Structure formats: C-alpha cells, structure tokens
A and B are shown apart, each in its own frame.
Chain A
Amino acid sequence: MTTALRPTATAAARVVDAVKTYGAGDTEVRALDGVSVDFPAGRFTAIMGPSGSGKSTLMHCAAGLDTLTSGSAFIGGTDLSGLDDRALTLLRRERVGFVFQAFNLLPTLTVAENITLPLDLAGQRGDREWIDALVDTVGLRDRLHHRPAELSGGQQQRVAVARAFAGRPDVVFADEPTGNLDSRAGEEVLRLLGSTVRRTARTVVMVTHDPVAAAHADEVLFLADGRLVDRMPAPTAERVLDRLKAFDAPGVTS
C-alpha cells in the first residue's frame, strides 16, 4: 500500500501515529488506532469507511476540533497538540475552513454576514476581491442579503462552502457536506468544492460515505477500525463502491 503514497513537498495538514480512545478499561474504544496520513496541499482528499471506522474522528482531530490521545496533528507546520483552547480557536478561525452536514449557518445573520463570519470574528476585513469572486463562484450574488431560512438546502451548503474558503484557509474540512441534499444539489456542491481546489490551489479534506461524492476527489483514503487500510488515487464511483463492498466480506479489512 505504501506504494500509493506519493511524496509531496508540503502537506496542508497531517497526522502522525494518531491514536484516539474513548472511555477506559473494559469499555475503552479505540476510534483511531495509529493513523499517519498527509493531506497534500492543493488536493481534494476524501475519507471513506464504514460507520465507526473513525473517519469523522480523524477529521475532527486533524482540524483541531478534538484532541488526540497520542500522536500529533499538524496544520501546515503547526503542531496542534501544543495549543490551548484559545490558540486552537484562533487557528481554526485563520487557517481552517469548515463545511458541516447541516446547520452550517447562523439563522440571525444574512448570507453575506455568514460568509465573512470568521473574518468578522477576527476583526479583519479579508480580501474583498477574493470574497467577491467566491460569491460569484457559488452563484449567490442575488441572495447576499437574505437570511438562511429563505434559502434551499443546496443554496445553504453553497454559502457554507463560500464561508469555508473566505479567509483563504490552509485547509477546508468538509463533514458529509452532501449528506442532507438531494443528488442534484449535492452534485453542485461537490463540483464547487472540486473546482475551487483546482482553480485556486486550495486544499479540501472531505469525509463521506457516498461513493459518488468520493469520486469528485483526487484521492480517497479508506479507514476501517481506526486504521488507514487503503488509498485510491483518481477514484471513480464504481471502483470506490467495489472497494467498499470488500469491507463487508469478512477477513478482508486488515
């Protein structure tokens, strides 16, 4: 499997020997069991795996939302394990973007305000041209002063994508960004993520359980039982599906 690893000059984010356990003693659960992985800059990486494989935990720890039990996580050159809550918060604000499955937007803020929320929290103006271009990319110029409740699910996710990229973060983490959307709206969001990565050399890490969504990525990582079990460059939906089916067959997982 190591043959699949391409040497990259810089990793936008990476984890080394990541272990995350919950509980203790008999009830201990190892959500991550020694995972080392680089998320190369300028690439769109998808993480897949069956439920409970640790894919969400991996994302949360890599993004600085959760802390590792042992091992380390890096955003660029910054070791997250040494940071306190405040430093982690500032790091998320300035260097990381998020797209969640649902409830991505604050209902009290307009679309425009939601997009610039991380910048506003930091008290920065941000790069107006960049944000302007983003608004056009996500195609919401005529909705800027609407409230989230007035938008469709797909539109809301597109606002979330714009918000995630607004501060030109090192890496954007997307957690099942299409999980609540119908296939057409989902397709639009995925294409948006993909095209932004390619056109602007941004980095996206996406957790998904949908092979069609994963096919939009440059590479798919497969997790099972808290370990990295496979990587698939240039994925297609069929190949991903086939690979996933293999997890169901006993004895193949490790």
Chain B
Amino acid sequence: MNAALRLSRTSLRSHKRRFAGTFVAVLLGVAFLTGTLVMGDTLRAGFDTLFADANAGTDAVVRSTNVVTVAGEGQGTRQPVPTALATRLSATPGVAAAVPDLQGSGQLVGSDGKPIGGQGPPTRAGNWITDPKLNPYRLAEGRAPSAPGEVVVNRGAAGKGGLKLGDTTVLRVPDPVPVRIVGIATFGGEDGMGQATFAGLTLGDAEKYLAPKPGEASSLSVRAGPGVSQQRLVDALTPVLPKGVEAITGKAAAAESLDMVAGLFLDLFTALLLVFSGIALLVATFSIHNTFAIVVAQRTRENALLRALGASRRQVSTATLAEAAVVALAASTAGVLAGIGIAAGLQALFPAIGFPFPAGDLVISRLSVALPVAVGVLVCLGSALLPALRAGRTAPLAALRESAVDQAGASRTRKLVGGALLPVGVGVTVAGVLAPGLLLAGTGALLTVAAFVVLGPVASSYAVRILGAPLDRLRGVTGALARRNALRSPRRTAATATALMIGVAVVSLFTVFGASLKATMDQTVSRSFAGDVAVGARQFGAGGSGISPRLAPAVARLPQVEAAVGLGKGVADVDGGGRNITVTDPVALTGLLDLGKVEGSLAGLGTDGLAVSANEADKHHWKPGSTTRLAFTDGSERTFTVRAVYAEKDLAGDYLLTREAWAPHRAQESDTLVAVSFKDGVSVADGKKAVERTAAAYGNPTVQTRDEYAKSSASGIDMMLTLVYALLALAVVIALLGIANTLTLAVHERTRELGLLRAVGQTRAQLRAMVRWESVLVAAFGTAGGLGLGAFLGWVLVRASDADGTGAFALPPVQLAVVTLVGLLAGALAGWRPARRAARLDVLRAIATQ
C-alpha cells in the first residue's frame, strides 16, 4: 500500500503536465457548481432580508382568506378587505395601529416619455402609509403626498426615469394619471426594493385608481402595542375578524413573499444553473476518463515492469487511483474557491446590468462547499476507475514488448451493442413522440445518447476518413498525416470527440428547440392574428401595468380604424382550480383574432355566458349548453353557461368573458393587448401613426405591426438562448481542454516520429499545421455527431412538449452553420498549444529518445 502511494506520488511529480487538463476540467466543473449553490443561497438570503425589511414594522397582516391562484403564477389574486375594518381593529386591545394597505400595479413614465422598468421586476403603486413604522419606505427628500395627484417615488425609479422633486409625469394604472413628485423615498437604506419601482399615492388616489371599489383595501397592516408579540397580536385579532378574513404574523407574511419569489424564479434559476453545471461535469467526466486511459496506456511498460518485479494488481490499480484522488482533491478545492470568486463577481456584476438581485453578503453554506468537492472527487475517481483496473491487469510480459501505444479499434462487442442500441433507442424515442409518452421519449433519448457514445469508436474511423478526405488534396502530405494520425486510435479519437459531441449536442438541441418555438409563435401570430397592428404586445417577463382599457374604444373611434378590441385579463376559480380569463368583446374579437372552428355562438354570451377553448371543454366534458360555477375574487360565485367552444386558443386564451359579465368582479382593470384593423385603403404605416398618436395619451404603450408583433413575441426566446449559450460555453471549453490534452499526450507519445519528420525535412510550420489539422478533424467528428444528436433530440423535445401537435419544427440553417463553424474553430484553437509544443521539439533529442 505504501509502495503504491509512493509510486503515485513520484508519478504525479514527474508528469504534472499530463494532469493539467484533468485538473482544469475538474476545477471548472466544480467552480460552476459551487458558484451556482453560493449564488442560490445568497439570492435567497438577499430576498429574505428584503422581505424582512419590507415587513419590519408590521406585526400582523389582516387579509381575506379567499384567493384565486393560477398554477405557475405566484401569489394569486386575493379578495380585498373593507378599509373600515382598520378603524375597528385600532380599538382592539394590543393594537398600536392598523392601517389599510392598497397595492396595485402602477408604472411610472420617465422624463423621456418611456415607461420605467417593466422587464421583470414589479412596478408597484400603493397608498403612502403615514405610520412610519408600518411603511417600509422612508422619505429621503420632500414630503408625503397630501393632495390628489401627488406621489412619492422610490429613489431607484426616479434615477432611472430622470425624475426630480417637483417634476410632473404620468403614472399608468394603466389609465394614465398625471402626477407630481413631492417626495423621493428609500427602502431599507437602498434605492428601492430590489429593482422594483414604487409610487406612493394618497389613500384617496389609491382607492380611486387601484382598488376595484371604494372602501376596499388589499390588506391591513397592524402594529402591536408595547410588549405584545406578533403571535399574541394575531391571537387577539382573530376573534374580532369577520368571516373570511384572517390575520397572520408579519414574519409569516415575509416568509410567504420569499416562497413566492423562490417558486416563481429563484428555484427555476438555480435548477437551470444546476443542470448546466451537470452538463459541464458530464463533459468533464469524458475528458478525464480519456486522459487517464491514455496515461495508463502510455505507462504500460512501466506498469508491466512493476508487475514483473512483484507488484500486485491491486497495488498498480491503487497507485493510479491515488493519483486521480490527489488531482481530484486539489482541483476540487481550487474549484470551490474559484466558484466562490465567481459568485462574488456575479453579485457585483448583476446589479450593474440591471438584474433584480438584492445586495447582501455572500452566503457560503457547508453544503455549497462539501457537495462540489464530493462531486469533483467522485467524477474524477469514477473516470479513473476503469483505466486504473486496466492498469492493474497489465501483463508482466508487456514490459518486453516494443509498442506501448494504444491502437485499439472498435471491438466486435461494441459494434454489436451499439448497433443494437441505436435502432432501439431511436425507435423507442419515436414511439414515445408519436404516441405521446414523455417517459418513453425520455428513455429513448437517453438510449440514443448512450448508443452514440458506444458507437463513437466505430463511427470515428469512417467519419475521419470522410471528413478528412478533402485534406489530402488541400494540404498535401501534411493533411494526409493529420488524417492518419486521427485515425490511429479510433477509440481515443472517439473518446476525445465525445466530450465535444455532448456539448455541441446540447447547444444544437437548444438552438433547434428555440428556432422551433419561434417558428411556432410566428405561425400562431400569422394564423391567429387577423389585425393590422397590435398595441402593447406581451413581451418576455414584462412587468408593467398593461394597457388602459379605455384605449381600445378610443382607437376604435379613429377614422382609419375598422375595428379595435382590447383583451383584458382576469382570474376566477373554475371547478376548484384558478384559471386565467380573457375579458373582451367576443363579437368584435372574431374579426381580429381567428378563433378557428366555433361551436355555438359568441354573440350571445351576455352576463351569464362564457366561451371556452376546445381543449378546456374536452377536459371538463363541456358542450355548448353545459353549465359551470365560477368563483371570483370579490367573494361571489356565479353559474355560467357555456355558449361557445372555439378551436384556436393561442392568442385568445382558454376562457372568454364579456366585460359586462366581468365588471362586478373586477380587480384593477387593464388590457394586455389591443388588436386593431384598418379600413380598406388605409396603409399600415398611416394607420399605425394614427394609433400611436392616440396611444400617446394613454401612457404611450408600444404599437407594432403584425410582423413586429410576431418578432417581439419571440424575442424572449432569443434572450433565453443567449443565456443558455453562455452557460454551455463552459462545457464546450472543458471539451476543448480534453482535445488539447489528448493531443499533448499524443505529441509526447510520438516524439520520435516528429523528430524523424523534422529530420527528413518537415518545417516547423508544416508540423504545426499537421497537429492543428488533427485537432480540427477530431473536433469536426465531435461537432458532426453533436449536430446529428442535437437535431434529433431537438425534434423529440419539440414534439414531446407540444401535446396539441400544432407547433412547428425548424432546423435553423444559419445558426447551425455557426455552431459547426464554432466547433471547427474551437478545434483549431485546441490544437494550437500542442502544435506549438510539438514544433518546439528539439530534433536531436527526438530522434535520440529510445
């Protein structure tokens, strides 16, 4: 045992360079993982502090128990409570103060006429609470609003919009309200609550603009008297509250807010990062395994000598594993430190580029250190296990043999297993896609990936021969040599390329998926949108306040306009589940949106009828004439008759209700889209100008032509793709390190050959080109495999995630060409250093090496 360890120590010391690639691969993977975990914890802690600050002086929150939550849409819409209740609660023993809290959506317009924020973080408006302990905002300048039209805005929003004390501007609630800024506020000493904007109004204004009806508040904030704990306060309040109203502690309210942010964004964000660090580590596994396999092959004679001298199999294997363990521990430790550094860097960077991340100290939990180290060590040891066992199996006689270089081709077993696996994998996947079964499709996809990995060495010799065919003609003997070097050890070439293949496959998968989603959206808009322009098209993560419901009627009165209809958003509980409801004029809508085949009639919905999508109708077994009960956020419940069932729900949504039916139950009113069509003979450009002039008075929402609308609907996908590419870059870098490392080892192993080539007249430039072209060939093989695999998996993902079968599948030629080019360039880059090292070789030493 001691001897084995001593061996690995001396080996590590004398072959530091060989493990440099492994070291860096583990380091990068572990750093990514650590960074993710630390970022996640830090963000959570940041939001925790934020919400604790927001609720700092609030000991209890009194609110309705009636809430409608649509799956995946956060906290839901809660029924208001009567403002008058505050007065009654103030008299309750233990209560120091109780004030109404009216919160709603309100987007400020900056001095340049453009709305402030609205790209994700909320844009809020509310009543300015005069009890300073119950108001998380503090006045930094000016005074509290006291007359209608006066507002306090948070310092961050004022800064972004170029607004100063005394300025007048517009607050979109979403009706444009002229406001004058009388105060600038801070939140817990910062410019605002994260990147959210806030406009504080008088109670009267807030009731007028934000509450559905006068005398209603979103909730009541209650402060406890001296010596009364939050829980005691809640206990004291509960008996005095009317039915359907509850009290919770300030702490519980803060925790709820945190859970909401976590559920909406934080968990997804962390999960996404974890998936990508997983991919990076998977790629690292392949390249580390390859390095150890080569090192063990190169050391065959050394290991054979050890075995001949009496070392046991176990001792030889242990020596190799111990080497791996040392590299793993060192690299993982460095990786954890680097990951903490990355998290610190990102924390500093994100606010600068406008990401909604709260400030705060880095949170480094024990798990964020222990888990990455464990994963790093496991990945490294796991990758080295097979090579180590192979090292132990070295026959003592191998010491006497001449060639120690691994030139193994693909074995028969491999061909058989791979040849069987591929059709089974593809078949199962296709079956899973055709007869929708996500589990089946997923299993098939995994099998297909496995088949690609298994078949790599079989494919590599064919692929390199084909891909490299032009090289002979283009680069003469240099190209021929590069191609044959890449062909020398199909297994090694394949293993090296596999890492890149996985990386490229994931990149192509997302590229194809993104392009298909965009094509689908484009199709949806061109199929369903029959108007000429759209106002206020929904964009990715748009917070904002929506569009004034008064805009559509105003636009409809324009002489150029044939029809204009607004689509508003509401929520209701249908059959025990929260649902989004589109509030509109269904008759006018049919002229602007193609609803497909309609059963029944949209004309007579009235105040007790609704229209549903065919999809939703099937789920509930509804036909025109069926009835169902809808529960609203004003606490009422009404029976509705299904009067129409329509096929196309992409733009219209699943439920249509008239404005008249919705009016009694409405919360803050706003439209998300206004569709407009022009009269014959009106050019789109002229009509658009006219609509823009009208829209300017309604808070200046964006007016888009059909094409612009389709494009902007898809712009969110580009943002997501950019993020995904950035995250995948690391996996590709690790794969390239793998190629570079393999080449360095190959150059080392071919020292004498390179010396001979130089002696008989190969110039340094020719030698460098030879090594680089070999690298490019390996990269080309990996890229080609990755493209094929990625395109296939992309198709699977597109089809599997599209239950209706209405989505489009697109192979974007330009993007995929770019991916290919990047793969090849990356190969050239990976070969650069090994090529330089090879060219620096001293001819004499090379031919003297025995």
Contacts and interface: CB of A to CB of B under 8 A. Distances in A.
B764 A86 contact: yes
B762 A65 contact: no
A98 B760 contact: yes
A160 to B, nearest CB: 10
A93 B762 CA distance: 7
B843 interface: yes
Contacts of B756: 100, 103-106
Given A117-B477, A121-B477, A98 B759 contact: yes
Interface string A94-134: 10001010011111110001000110111100000000000
B477 A89 contact: no
B485 A108 contact: yes
B841 to A, nearest CB: 12
A86 B844 contact: no
Most chain B CB inside 10 Å of its own CB: which residue of A86, A90, A117: A117
Most chain B CB inside 10 Å of its own CB: which residue of A104, A105, A106, A113: A106
Given A65-B759, A108-B481, A89 B752 contact: no
A65 B844 contact: yes
Contacts of A182: none
A108 B761 contact: no
A92 B844 contact: no
Most chain B CB inside 10 Å of its own CB: which residue of A90, A118, A121: A121
A151 to B, nearest CB: 14
Contact of B761 (A60, A103, A105, A121): A121
Nearest to A167: B761
Interface size for chain A: under 10, 10 to 19, 20 to 34, or 35 or more residues? Answer: 20 to 34
Nearest to A98: B759
Interface in B722-781: 752-753, 756-766
A66 interface: yes
A163 to B, nearest CB: 7
A28 interface: no
Given A100-B847, A120-B476, A123-B476, A109 B760 contact: no
B759 A90 contact: no
Contacts of A163: 760
Interface size for chain B: under 10, 10 to 19, 20 to 34, or 35 or more residues? Answer: 20 to 34
B488 interface: yes
Most chain A CB inside 10 Å of its own CB: which residue of B752, B761, B847: B761
Given A65-B843, A121-B477, A107 B753 contact: yes
A85 interface: yes
B752 A103 contact: yes
B629 interface: no
B761 A94 contact: yes
Contacts of A120: 476-477
Contacts of B478: 121
Contacts of A122: 761
A226 B478 CA distance: 39
A118 B757 CA distance: 9
Contact of A86 (B480, B484, B763, B847): B763
Interface in B816-850: 843-844, 847
A66 B477 contact: no
B202 to A, nearest CB: 84
Contacts of B485: 108
B105 to A, nearest CB: 70
B481 A89 contact: no
B847 A89 contact: no
A92 B759 contact: yes
B796 to A, nearest CB: 40
Nearest to B850: A102
Contact of A85 (B480, B484, B752, B764): B764
Given A60-B844, A121-B766, A89 B484 contact: no
Nearest to A108: B484
Contacts of A85: 764
B764 A89 contact: yes
B761 A92 contact: yes
Contacts of B847: 65, 100, 103
Contacts of B481: 106, 108-109
B760 A103 contact: no
A117 B844 CA distance: 19
Contacts of B764: 85-86, 89
A117 B760 contact: yes
A48 B760 CA distance: 24
Nearest to B755: A103
Contacts of A86: 763-765
Contacts of A104: 756
A90 B484 contact: no
A51 to B, nearest CB: 14
Interface string A25-44: 00000000000000000000
A86 B847 CA distance: 18
B847 to A, nearest CB: 6
A118 B752 CA distance: 17
Contacts of B762: 89, 93, 121
A104 B765 CA distance: 22
Interface in B476-511: 476-478, 480-481, 484-485, 487-488
Contacts of A93: 760-762
A123 B473 CA distance: 11
Contacts of A117: 477, 757, 760
Contacts of A113: 477, 480
A22 to B, nearest CB: 11
Contact of A89 (B487, B488, B763): B763
Interface string B509-520: 000000000000
A118 B761 contact: yes
A109 B476 contact: no
A245 B765 CA distance: 47
Contacts of B759: 65, 92, 98, 100
Contacts of B844: 60, 65-66
Given A66-B844, A100-B847, A106 B763 contact: no
Nearest to A164: B760
A245 B92 CA distance: 123
A247 to B, nearest CB: 24
A106 B757 contact: yes
Nearest to B483: A108
B753 to A, nearest CB: 6
B589 to A, nearest CB: 71
A27 B765 CA distance: 35
Most chain B CB inside 10 Å of its own CB: which residue of A93, A94, A108, A113: A108
A89 B753 contact: no
A89 B754 CA distance: 13
A89 B761 contact: yes
Nearest to A63: B759
A159 to B, nearest CB: 12
A114 to B, nearest CB: 9
B503 to A, nearest CB: 29
A223 B757 CA distance: 29
Contacts of B753: 103, 106-107
Contacts of B763: 86, 89-90, 121
A86 B761 CA distance: 9
A221 to B, nearest CB: 21
Interface string B268-300: 000000000000000000000000000000000
B292 to A, nearest CB: 24
A86 B477 CA distance: 18
Given A92-B759, A93-B760, 10 more contacts: A89-B758, A94-B761, A98-B759, A103-B752, A103-B756, A104-B756, A105-B756, A106-B481, A121-B477, A121-B760
Shortest beta-carbon contacts, A-B, top 6: A93-B761, A108-B484, A120-B477, A118-B761, A89-B763, A118-B760
Interface of B: 476-478, 480-481, 484-485, 487-488, 752-753, 756-766, 843-844, 847
20 contacts: A65-B759, A66-B844, A89-B763, A92-B760, A93-B761, A103-B753, A108-B484, A108-B488, A109-B480, A109-B481, A117-B477, A117-B757, A117-B760, A118-B760, A120-B476, A120-B477, A121-B478, A121-B757, A121-B760, A121-B762
